[in-house]
A and B are shown apart, each in its own frame.
Chain A
Amino acid sequence: MNSIAFVLLSILTLAAALATATLQKLMHATLSFAVTLVGVAALFFLLGAEFVGLVLVFVYIGAVAVLIVFTILLTRRDVGKDRGANWGGAFLAVAVFGGLTWAILETQSVAIVAPHLRTLTVKRIGEALMTSYVWPLQCVGVLLTAALIGALVLVMEEKR
């Protein structure tokens, strides 16, 4: 697979992610979150999982990002600056990253090159979903319905 594309994409993704974590303006941060997700989706494409990438874009850009900006607008009172970064958190994050990277680099078994990809068609995914993953699918459906109803109930104005 294409290494240049990979490098560019990962740089983009991580930069956007960092922006998300640090930008002061909430709206900018949110948009950069969207960019992050686009980057991740592109990485998925690179890894030959087009379908998942498309689903990711579809769900996150199309729905979740919009939801988030809406929420930001609805809770507008203290939008604007989001002050006072928490340095302990930053340190902890860096520590975790260090630990993980160290562990990954120590592990030799993951230093492998991708085998030749047998393209994963949507048809195959569909068959898998409908045969061996049908119960999880049903459960997710129920879960989503429950989440929908729950969210509605939560944001309904309580009559007083």
Chain B
Amino acid sequence: MQKVSQQQLIDKAVSLLADGTVSCVLGWTKGEFDYDITPALFTDEASLRQGFVWNDFCGANFSKYLVAKTRKCEGKILVFLKPCDTYSFNQLLTEHRFDREKVYAVGIPCEGMADIDKVKAICGDGISSIDCNGEKMAVQTIYEDAPVQVDASSVLAERCINCKSKKHVAYDELMGDEGDVIDSARFDEVAKLEAMTPDERFTFWQNELSRCIRCNACRDACPACTCEVCVFNNPKSGVENKSPANSFEEKMFHIIRAFHVAGRCTDCGECSRVCPQNIPLHLLNRKFIKDMNECYGEYQAGAEVGSRAPLVNYTTDDLEPGEVFNGRDSDA
């Protein structure tokens, strides 16, 4: 259950529309089964009251939409930002990707988003409705007479289990209480991989990446990937390709993508959420974050606007490329 209710958000949006603060609202709209929620732009009270939803399945990070929408929208856009979304929001501002003046950001607290696959693993397929408003999540399927009561914590998405911050780093207005930066265990999985032998790691990633179908969902959902022209779409870049025609292509794509967002990735986890093949892509990005934290000092992309990312910075006594492996002796 989320702390700020759907009704509160709708009322807020309606009032900001009514007093002319904003001309449209970027929010979530409901789908067929209570969990298939789509980002949508609302411009009037009726559609807000009818379609706006806010529940445990509103995972989509809106920040990226602001790049295109602020260019098109007359007037200000109201955007509701979960704590993790605010980091992406700031990062995009750091990169001058949209005009801050055209956005009215309302921070909303987030209790974590649910992973529908985890829900289905518990309740089975054939979901006809999900009620997230109670203490527990009530999942009704066509195969059972009574809804199954599920602990929201047991179906949290991976990225929410390892939530890095409940603090909003950007907003014009905050609803509910402000949270704190969390000392999460998000690097544990990376550390586990680091502790493996190179052969094990190679097998692990070969297995994961071989599932890649190059649908580009990770890239297209990524709030750091807002390039006007992506190198993978640009025939002149030398890396353009449409298919995972060879195991090299998969690695190339994911290495380059991770490198391009290194220092810019806020670890929002959209890449892994949207991957239809369930590849843990966030681990690549987290690996870069972990390395940069360890080698160049703690840095959280998006924590503040205008900060200088580790890869566009240096000190004269940085460690040597050969030294990054020091202390990682599992396989020396």
A and B held together in a complex: no
